[in-house]
Structure 1
Amino acid sequence: MLGERFPDQVIARMNPKGRVILCGQIAVYNTDLPYPPPIPCETQKILETRQIQRDRYLVLNYKNDWQKGIAQLRKWMENDEIRVKETIYEGLQNGPAAFVDMMNGKNVGKMLIRV
């Protein structure tokens, strides 16, 4: 998991009425943990007393806006305002290793296989 207690440490330092967006949670894939993962009691108290929102980000909620998003990202890339980080494995034969490494967090940015 991302630093195990990292999210709790961030929440403990947040201002009242802040927002936490949950996205990904790859560390709980293929585990018995629920999504979103359970919150320790002390963190739950902080969320409640400071009125901090904890919301899920689901990409499918924005499915009607994807073309606009792609156009904006393309513009940023063309203007060098955003840079894409990639981990590239050479050859289809390295696909399984690339997948395992991606699931274990060994990639930087997008995991790609060049064939």
Structure 2
Amino acid sequence: MSTATETWVAVCQVADILPNTGVCALVDGRHVAIFRVGAEAFYAIDNIDPKSGASVLSRGLVGNLGERVVVASPLYKNHFDLKTGECLELPACSVGVHPVKVEGSQVLVSV
């Protein structure tokens, strides 16, 4: 749900993100990973892997663990829920989530 205080930043075109992959963008000084799941679902989480401090989550493998849509960190293989940011193996290492929307052919994120 949008609020009056949200500032939306265009990060890329829809076509720039292949289905079931992610990209990284710098939004207001923050590293954000934007994922496209299937043809039309988009999610945005912090891109920094909490265990390593590296900006790599956008390079992780997208999939499902049960009902959850997740990305597996390419470094330590921890799974992050794309809806909540929760790290399934180490909840203390969860990441932030950000609103994402599509307007026309543009993907926009708010941090």
Q: Give the TM-score band, short-chain normalised.
A: under 0.3
Indicate the structure whose relative CO is greater, using CA pairs within 8 Å and at least 6 residues apart.
2
Higher strand share: 2
Q: Which has the higher helix share?
A: 1
Structure possessing the higher radius of gyration over alpha carbons: 1
The normalised TM-score by structure 1 is 0.20
